[in-house]
Amino acid sequence: MAPTVIPFGPQHPVLPEPLHLQITVVDEVVSEVLPKLGFVHRGLENLVLKRDIHQMVQVVERVCGICSCIHAHTYCMAIEELMDVQVPPRADYLRIIWGELHRMHSHLLWLGLLADAFGFESLFMQCWKIREKVMDIQEATSGNRVIVSVNVVGGVRRELTPEQCTWILETLEEVEKELLEIKQVFIDDFSVQKRTRGVGILSREEAYESGAVGPTLRGSGVAQDVRQSGYGAYSELDFEPVTEPDGDSYSRAKVRFREVLQSIDLVRQGISRLPQGESRVKVKGWPEGEAISRTEQPRGELMYYIKADGSKHLERMRIRTPTFANIPGMLKMLPGVDLANVPVAVLSIDPCISCTER
């Protein structure tokens, strides 16, 4: 049969965000994919010219709702590096506690969306039911469900009281228990494996060469995680990057599932080692120079480049988000996939288009 071109997105039931793929299929098998981006470009990077460095924290939080805390953390790290601000150790710990909560809720959201993509509605509901507990922790400790807005240049705005810490640990115990109940479904269930195993294979070499990051890279067996660089308080916590060797959608789902459990462990470690003292230092003056900071978002490596000229506005800010890095990998994994499996394969990189287009 002659090749047929099928438009996939920007409005598609499986996509929460607008990504357009021009898919060429031969006999219902994908042979070529062309991506088209730019539907939700908002020009947030340009706002550095209109908002001062402290106001930009609230702007970068809105680059991506799902990982707002980590965006603000990365931005603050870059500014603090330029201004030689030493963040108190307690603030470092609090930042990673909220960051790991964000990773947890992002991965649970994604696991639910994946279940929805292959038509397992009850599993989708279970994942989001568990996620709601994590959202409650965020709302109770920071004031908002999603955009926690706790980071400021020089530390954090909110505190965790000992009672809140106990409550968080108790809630995470429940989250872990409920997660382990559905673990068997994700790992062993026949229908889950039927829809995800062998779909969208990205070999170790391909993943590395295409510059994939985060769970997409780790799902192909490369143990690379920016948290290993020890930013924030990660240098004092014990963890190993989660990897799976197969490189298919099933592997990537397993990586994310195991990362939720890893995040629970990291929050526990963070709370048990939470130092006492100040959680914010006063910051005076304006930055000057260039800085790059990197962190591990739920989707992979996030990078901020900042150029400042000593005034209250930055001269330039550039954000490199993980989905941007994962799109070449996605284009490599799609050829050879059945058209019916394209939604699962596309979703397996956890595309966050709002991040990518900013």
Our finding on whether 185 is near another protein (CB under 8 A) is: yes
Our finding on whether 197 is near another protein (CB under 8 A) is: no
Candidates 137-145, 224-232, 250-258, 267-275: pick the segment binding another protein (CB under 8 A): 137-145
Our finding on whether 278 is near another protein (CB under 8 A) is: no
- CA distances (Å), 257 to each of 239, 274, 300, 338, 344, in order? 15, 26, 15, 25, 16
Shortest distance (Å) from residue 322 CB to another protein = 24
Provide the residue count of the chain.
358
State the sign of the Cα–Cα–Cα–Cα dihedral 325, 331, 333, 339.
Answer: positive
Our finding on whether 235 is near another protein (CB under 8 A) is: no
Exposed, middle or buried by CB within 10 Å (0-12, 13-18, 19+), for 261? middle
Shortest distance (Å) from residue 124 CB to another protein = 12
Residue 343, token pair as written in the block: 């939604």
Residue 177, token pair as written in the block: 């228990």
Our finding on whether 310 is near another protein (CB under 8 A) is: no
Our finding on whether 129 is near another protein (CB under 8 A) is: yes
Candidates 106-114, 186-194, 201-209, 218-226: pick the segment binding another protein (CB under 8 A): 186-194
Our finding on whether 157 is near another protein (CB under 8 A) is: yes
Our finding on whether 139 is near another protein (CB under 8 A) is: yes
104 vs 152 by CB, closer to another protein: 152
Candidates 15-23, 84-92, 177-185, 347-355: pick the segment binding another protein (CB under 8 A): 177-185
| Residues 244, 218 contacting (CB under 8 angstroms) | yes
Candidates 189-197, 200-208, 264-272, 301-309: pick the segment binding another protein (CB under 8 A): 189-197
Based on C-alpha coordinates, what's the Rg of the chain? 20
Taking CB under 8 A as the criterion, which residues in 34-93 touch another protein? 51, 54-59, 62
3-state secondary structure of 100: helix
The answer to whether the peptide bond before residue 16 is cis (omega within 30 degrees of 0) is no
Shortest distance (Å) from residue 55 CB to another protein = 4
4 vs 55 by CB, closer to another protein: 55
Candidates 119-127, 207-215, 235-243, 292-300: pick the segment binding another protein (CB under 8 A): 119-127
| Residues 241, 218 contacting (CB under 8 angstroms) | yes
Our finding on whether 184 is near another protein (CB under 8 A) is: yes
Residues ≥6 apart with Cβ < 8 Å to 172: 137, 264, 267, 268
Q: How remote is the C-alpha of 164 from its chain's centroid? A: 25
Q: How remote is the C-alpha of 34 from its chain's centroid? A: 24
3-state secondary structure of 31: strand
Our finding on whether 283 is near another protein (CB under 8 A) is: no
Candidates 143-151, 236-244, 288-296, 331-339: pick the segment binding another protein (CB under 8 A): 143-151
127 vs 344 by CB, closer to another protein: 127
Our finding on whether 144 is near another protein (CB under 8 A) is: yes
Beta strand spans in 201-272 (E): none
Residue 66: CB atoms within 10 Å: 24
Residues ≥6 apart with Cβ < 8 Å to 163: none
Shortest distance (Å) from residue 185 CB to another protein = 5
Q: Report how far residue 41's alpha carbon sits from residue 43's, in angstroms, rounded to the nearest whole number.
A: 6
Q: Total number of residues binding another protein (CB under 8 A)?
A: 32
Q: Which residue has the tokens 């559905």?
A: 182
| Residues at the contact surface with another protein, assessed by CB under 8 A | 51, 54-59, 62, 122-123, 125-126, 129, 132, 136, 139-141, 143-144, 147, 149, 157-158, 181-182, 184-185, 188-191
